[in-house]
Structure 1
Amino acid sequence: MSARQVSKVLVVEDESAQREVLQYNLEAEGFGVVMAENGDEALLLVAEEQPDLVVLDWMLPNVSGIEVCRRLKADPMTRPIPIIMLSARGDEGDRVRGLETGADDYMVKPYSVVELMARLRTQLRRTRPASMGERLSFDDIVLDAAEHRVFRSGQPLHLGPTEFRLLSTLMEKPGRVWTREQLLDRVWGRDIYVDTRTIDVHVGRLRKALMANGGNNPVRTVRGTGYALG
């Protein structure tokens, strides 16, 4: 498995041809793709798959895209997920309504797939910088995702691939408490079965590597929940 984490995109689109185009282009760019045909399915998949970004069509059967967006942004657990709304509605009032509902970006159909991919990367660079090859820092720790290198106080550290992905996840949101299940999903993926106790083993290895040249332990254990950085 590559050291770079794969971002997962949920595409919510009721037109099969549009879904296929989006799936093809997203997979060609290296993203993991989850598909939904309607709003009800989208809400279920957000809870099950925990996507990193949602591409959401406004006009959906039953639960509309606007309502899906409203519900996701009203829930503290899903509020941080960027939403790019797609719509044939190009009037200024519709754009404003979409953005005021909580969408992070809004594109009018027919849209440029190249532009959509650029906007998608911009949103992910903001919320998941490590997955986009960005350089992260926390206190005296620096993680270069593009070069797959970690430094502490200027000294290079030697981390295994799993510890690297674990650290990059923690560094993307310092202070956030991650449950073991969330870390397993982010670091290993949902398709691989790993016992949650495995997380404790790799956190121990990560701590040892981070303190190899001295310094305090930056990974905090939250009893009964999981781990946080700082």
Structure 2
Amino acid sequence: MALTMYGSATEKPSLARGAGQRVLLAVEDPEVAELLSTTLELAGYRIDTVGTGTEALARLGAHRFDLVVLDLTLPDLERLTRGQRGVIQRPPVLFLAACDALGRLLPELGLGEKDYVTKPFRIAEVLARAQVLLRGTNTGRRESGLGYGDLALDDSACQALRAGQALHLTPAEYRLLRYLLVNAHKVLSKEQIGRYVWGDFHGDNAIEQLVSRLRRKVDREGPALIHTRRGFGYWLGRSAERE
């Protein structure tokens, strides 16, 4: 496996820094496990590494972890899924998933407690996703109840609602809306949005198209909530409340 597909452990982890949180890395491929372990340790995390679902279950039962990074190709993964019923601790999980596994994965995602990156992944994206998941546990917040006025997220179903009507968002649109809600009334730059949604900056045009699609769905049946601050970025809220 070519590690260049996944970035390099020598990349400076400028997007995210750990503070000694303990991470369980459950990855079968030893080269990918070594790359992730080295990078996360350099970023300030404490790492335990296992290569099977059985080992992961045993480690979760014996120790407390702040985050689990879980490869969906892990051997005997179903054992880990079944065995978690007996594990009191429920740390957030970052899945490493192939694109063809997303149809099975996405209905199970409760964002804020679980998230994913697609393979081949970028190290910067793994660091960014880990930081977001850990931020939720560090602040003691459950973000499953995010909302603004008549706009709400149902994370258990990965669904956005406005005035009780489903908006039918794509994963990228959902992630963007979540980011805007968490930062309501704060202007977010295109670079910030790109790095949050995709793990890197996709360029102005990609961000503009994504925001435009989301705005058409969110603001179709009610007063505009997503706004442009020309030359700076985008923000969510009611205009009168920000002025």
Normalization by structure 2: what TM-score?
0.47
